[in-house]
Amino acid sequence: MSTVTLTYREASRAGIRHALATDERVFLMGEDVGAYGGAFAVSMSLLEEFGPERVRNTPLSESAFVGAGIGAALNGMRPIVEVMTINFSLLALDQIVNNAATLRYMSGGQLSVPLVVRMATGAGRQLAAQHAHSLEVWYAHIPGVRALAPATPEDARGMLLAALDDPDPVFIFEHATLYPLEGELEETPHAVDIDHAAVRRGGDDVTLVTYGGSLGKCLQAAETLAADGIDAEVIDLRTLRPLDTETILASLAKTHRLVIVDEGWKTGSLAAEVSAQIMERGFDLLDWPVRRVCTAEVPIPYAKHLEEAALPSTERIVHAVKEMAF
Amino acid sequence: MSTEATAKATTLDRDHGLRLLREMLRIRRFEERAAEQYSLAKIRGFLHLYIGEEAVAVGVMQALTPNDAVVATYREHGHALARGLPASSLMAEMFGKASGCSRGRGGSMHFFDVSRRFYGGYAIVGGGLPIAVGLALADAMQGRRRVSACFFGEGAVAEGEFHESLNLAALWKLPVLFLCENNLYAMGTPIVQELAVTDIAARARSYGIPAHAVDGMDVLEVEAAARRAADEVRETGEPRFLELRTYRFRAHSMADPDLYRTKEEIERWKRRDPIVLFEERLRAAELISDGDLEELEAAVAAELDEAIAFADAAPIEPVEDLLKDVTTPRSP
């Protein structure tokens, strides 16, 4: 099996390119996805390859172009809609929550909305409080949609392809700090599983559950802990809705300790949902109360030291684990 | 009422006249029966009646083919009936039955019928416009010459989605027929309190979309304007816009005590009842007789009796199916 080394950005682009090349129903639309190459340079060169019909620059009208994606999906197309950041996606929430998520159910199963929406999420780039929030949990709250958080280049490419095969709306949250991350991928693009979490590092003493931009921090924390003789298992949720609780429960049967690391705010977070599901289904497996490492409850600040202090860090993860008795 | 539409009415013959009259009458009587069933608590939730606005849906629908798409609002019973959805499936839907056009999941505000390309009643004001733009985008990209007809009220003109959608449809040259049903009230707020510029067609023109205001109480004028606009959409692949000036004779919904309009205003508009006006016209042209009217009324009453009996007898969806169709089941 031959492999290639790609950045997360290149991998995401490779997924889009593969879809455009192999399925004429697929098109990309969003703000500055054309000549500019996308706000995060994901769609660079795709306009030259596929032309302005299939790589469509949109006006700054999030509600209209996300809604148009829904309409096009209802009418035989497979749109990939890029919204610059999750903060901007709030301008399209009416279309997402009231239309995309409801149409199959409300029409008694007559309508299908095979729509893929990608957006950047997360902090760490000093972009302050209107470009850097982690609101994935809001989408994970909504019945009728699937929410994905690729944390690796392989997932950035393969989840996009899997999302396009899904007959229902899929939201892909790409953490903005991951775009330069390199990884080795199989040369031929293919869809990946989007139903299950992945164990990214095996371990017996404690389970770290995370997703997206926090995976690297957890793996680093696991190395630090290993030096102190604590063997951490790291689970990447990958799919935020529907949650794969089974994989977490299987891990807790070994480790009996759970720390959830989530860049969202702690109140009403995805970490809260994981914790609640474990209380309901795995309480007896636990030797220690569940711990959560989340973002401080502030709008993300601009100043570097404040932003760093607000976000989950390797140190805070290590600290949360070490508070537990082993 | 002054209008800008210049299209000639289609030749009015007896068959066509009877057809238009029957369709408007079906809507009027359907709505009256729906209100009755609401009072009997057979229908619950919100119920928004289309009485007074029948000429709009019926006139416009003459211009559409089965291949065209329709996007409507929460006041969509008239559009659904005129589009050919059976009265029985609509009544069953409002009764919350599994035989309803949306399996009882939508109710009065959310009728769907994919087989008739009726893409739904949308209850968020302005929310259907981007959907229609997307339906048209798919047609344009796949080289199909079809019209996506999008109904909305003048209240939607104050929403951002109206402006975003008109701009996008004009910018990308998409085959959307925008149909603004201007009934002068956004729920209880009169147009002069909601829009700084009340000439709605002018606002559409400001996006480069050819637009006309039409007397929405005159079914022939609506039909003529809609035929011309739909033909232009089909020929050019570009959007057109009609402002249909109309009035609802009943309150906003069954929950509305209608305190914001004067009786005089309502009575003034009722003198322009689209059904009465058209009936008088057909009589004046000696195209129909008293006997025709009696026959029409009897046929409509029989159809609606059947619809109600059907809805009454229809099965409910089993509670075991509560979670069905939230998403598509995945093979393991």
Catalytic residue among A18, A82, A131, A175: A131
- What residues of chain B lie within 8 A of the CB of A146, using their CB? 327
Residue A41 pLDDT more than 50?
A: yes
Contact A99 B106 (CB under 8 A): no
- Supply the DSSP string of A58-102, one letter for each residue: --S-HHHHHHHHHHHHHTT-EEEEEEEEHHHHGGGHIIIIIIITT
For B103, name the nearest residue in chain A, comparing CA atoms only. Answer: A108
Which of the four pLDDT bands, split at 50, 70 and 90, describes residue B196? very high
Query: How many Cβ atoms are within 10 Å of B205's Cβ, its own excluded?
Result: 14
Residue B77 lies in a domain: yes
- What residues of chain A lie within 8 A of the CB of B237, using their CB? none
Contact call for residues B32 and B305 (beta carbons, < 8 A): no
Query: β-strand A3-7 against A182-186: which pairing, if any?
Result: antiparallel
Give the pLDDT confidence score for residue A40 in this predicted structure: 95
Residue B324 lies in a domain: no
Which residue did the predictor score with more confidence, B331 or B196?
Answer: B196
Q: What is the DSSP letter of A37?
A: -
Residue B7 pLDDT more than 70?
A: no
Contact call for residues B150 and B128 (beta carbons, < 8 A): yes
Alpha-carbon Rg for chain A, nearest whole angstrom, is 19
Instruction: Give the Cα separation of B142 and B136 in Å (integer).
Output: 10
For domain A198-322, give its CATH number from 3.40.1550.10, 3.50.50.60, 3.30.10.20, 3.40.50.920.
3.40.50.920
Which of the four pLDDT bands, split at 50, 70 and 90, describes residue A34? very high
Contact A77 B142 (CB under 8 A): yes
Residue A261 pLDDT more than 70?
A: yes
Please give the residue range of the domain that contains residue B81: 14-313
Task: Report pLDDT digits (tens) over B142-178.
Answer: 999 999 999 999 999 999 999 999 999 999 999 999 9
CATH 3.40.50.920 segments of chain A:
198-322
Length of chain A: 326
pTM, to two decimals:
0.95
Residue B8 pLDDT more than 50?
A: no
Which of the four pLDDT bands, split at 50, 70 and 90, describes residue A89? very high
- What residues of chain B lie within 8 A of the CB of A64, using their CB? 129-130, 133, 161, 164-165, 167-168
Residue position matching structure tokens 């009265």? B87
CATH of the domain at B132: 3.40.50.970
What percent of chain B lies above the pLDDT cut of 70?
97
Lowest average pLDDT, out of A278-282, B49-53, B76-80, B327-331, goes to B327-331
Task: Report pLDDT digits (tens) over A285-303.
Answer: 999 999 999 999 999 999 9
Q: B156 in helix, strand or coil?
A: helix
Contact B167 A99 (CB under 8 A): no
- What residues of chain B lie within 8 A of the CB of A98, using their CB? 122, 124, 127
Quote ipTM for the complex.
0.95
In one letter, which amino acid is B241? F
Mean pLDDT, to the nearest integer, of A163-174?
98
Residue B122 lies in a domain: yes
| Number of folded domains that form chain B | 1
Residue position matching structure tokens 């057909």? B282
Residue position matching structure tokens 């921090």? A217
Contact B168 A65 (CB under 8 A): yes
Residue A86 pLDDT more than 50?
A: yes
Instruction: Give the Cα separation of A232 and A57 in Å (integer).
Output: 45
- What residues of chain B lie within 8 A of the CB of A71, using their CB? 130-138, 148
Residue B10 pLDDT more than 80?
A: no
Residue A133 pLDDT more than 80?
A: yes
Residue B52 lies in a domain: yes
Quote the longest CA-to-CA distance of chain A: 60
Rounded to the nearest 5 percent, the helix, strand and coil shares of chain B are 50, 10, 40
Contact A108 B106 (CB under 8 A): yes
Q: How many helical (H) and strand (E) elements, i.e. helices and strands, does chain A have?
A: 13, 14
- What residues of chain A lie within 8 A of the CB of B119, using their CB? 74, 111
Cis previous bond, A52, omega within 30: no
Inter-axis angle of helices A270-282 and A245-255, nearest 10: 60
Alpha-carbon Rg for chain B, nearest whole angstrom, is 19
Contact A70 B133 (CB under 8 A): no
- State how far residue B327 is from chain A, nearest Cα, in angstroms: 5
- A122: exposed, middle or buried (C-beta count within 10 Å: 0-12, 13-18, 19+)? buried
- Does CATH place domain A3-186 in 3.40.50.970? yes
Residue B201 lies in a domain: yes
Size of interface A-B (CB pairs under 8 A): 143
- State how far residue A227 is from chain B, nearest Cα, in angstroms: 40
Determine which of B93, B122, B125, B135 to mutate to test the interface with A (most A C-beta atoms within 10 Å).
Answer: B135
**E strand segments, B142-292:** 148-153, 176-182, 185-186, 189-190, 211-215, 240-245
Taking CA A167 as the corner, what is the angle to CA A190 and CA A244, rounded to the nearest 5 degrees? 70
The C-alpha torsion from B158 through B159 and B160 to B161, rounded to 10°, is -130
Q: A179 in helix, strand or coil?
A: coil
The mean pLDDT of chain B is: 95
Minimal Cβ distance to A61: which of B105, B139, B167: B167
Catalytic residue among A62, A82, A174, A233: A62
From residue B140, how far is each of B38, B144, B238 by CA, in Å?
A: 42, 6, 10
Residue A6 sits at φ, ψ, to 5 deg, of -135, 150
Give the pLDDT confidence score for residue B332 in this predicted structure: 60
What percent of chain B lies above the pLDDT cut of 90?
93
Contact A70 B134 (CB under 8 A): yes
The C-alpha torsion from A88 through A115 and A193 to A291, rounded to 10°, is 30
* A307 labelled catalytic: no
Which residue did the predictor score with more confidence, B192 or B11?
Answer: B192
For A65, name the nearest residue in chain B, comparing CA atoms only. Answer: B130
Q: Quick one: CA dihedral A66, A69, A74, A75, positive or negative?
A: positive
CA A126 to chain centre: 20
